[in-house]
Amino acid sequence: MSGSVWMALSPWMAAAGLVLVLLLVTAFVRRHGAAFWVSLVGLAGVATTLPLAARAAPVQVEDLLEIDRFALLYCGLLVAATVAVVLLGKRFWDRRLGEPEAEAGELYVLLSVSLLGGMVLVAAIHLVTFFLGLETLSVGLYTLIAYRRQGERSTEAGLKYLILAGASSAFLLFGMALLYAALGTMGLDEMVARTSGMGHGLDAVLALGGLALVLVGIGFKLALVPFHLWTPDVYEGAPAPVTAFVATVSKGAVFGLLLRWSATAGSAWGHPLLVMLAPVAAASMIAGNLLALFQSNLKRLLAYSSIAHLGYVLVALLALPVAGGVAAEAVTFYLAAYFVTILGAFGLVAALSDGDGEAETIDQVRGLFWRRPWLAALFTAMLLSLAGIPVTAGFLAKFYAVAAAVEGARWVLVLILVLTSAIGLFYYLRVVVAMFSNEGDEGTSPSKALPAVAPAAGIALFALAVLLVWLGTWPAPVIDWIRGAVAGLL
* Mean pLDDT of all residues belonging to the chain: 87
pLDDT at 100: 47
pLDDT one-digit tens code per residue, 217-276? 999 989 898 888 889 999 988 888 899 999 999 999 999 999 998 888 876 777 788 888
Pick from 21-35, 123-137, 283-297: least confident: 21-35
Per-residue pLDDT averaged across 330-338, rounded?
94
pLDDT tens digits for 139-162?
A: 889 888 988 766 677 788 888 898
- What is the band of 97 on the pLDDT scale with cuts at 50, 70, 90? low
pLDDT in tens, 461-483: 999 999 999 999 998 899 999 99
Region 402-428: what's the mean pLDDT? 92
Supply the pLDDT for residue 62.
Answer: 83
Residue 313: what pLDDT? 94
pLDDT score at 197: 64
**Confidence band (pLDDT; 50, 70, 90) for 101?**
very low
Q: What per-residue confidence (pLDDT) applies to 367? A: 85
Q: What is the pTM of this model?
A: 0.93
Confidence of residue 84 (pLDDT cuts 50, 70, 90): very high
pLDDT at site 470 = 93
Segments making up each domain of the chain, as ranges: 3-489
**Of residues 101 and 314, which shows the higher confidence score?**
314
Q: Per-residue confidence at 442, pLDDT binned at 50, 70, 90?
A: very low
Average the pLDDT over 213-217 and give the result: 92
- pLDDT, position 103: 59
**How do residues 154-209 score in pLDDT, each as one tens digit?**
788 888 898 988 899 999 999 999 999 988 889 888 888 888 766 677 778 888 89
Q: What number of other Cβ atoms are within 10 A of residue 72's Cβ? A: 24
CB burial class (10 A; 0-12, 13-18, 19+) of residue 406?
A: middle
**Looking at the predicted structure, is the pLDDT value of residue 22 above 80?**
yes
The confidence score (pLDDT) of residue 355 equals 55
Per-residue pLDDT, 362: 86
What percent of the chain is predicted at pLDDT more than 90?
A: 51
**Residue 120: its pLDDT value, please?**
94
pLDDT interval class at 447 (50, 70, 90): very low
Find the range with the poorest average confidence among 66-70, 76-80, 337-341: 66-70
Q: Report the 10 Å Cβ neighbour count for 490.
A: 12
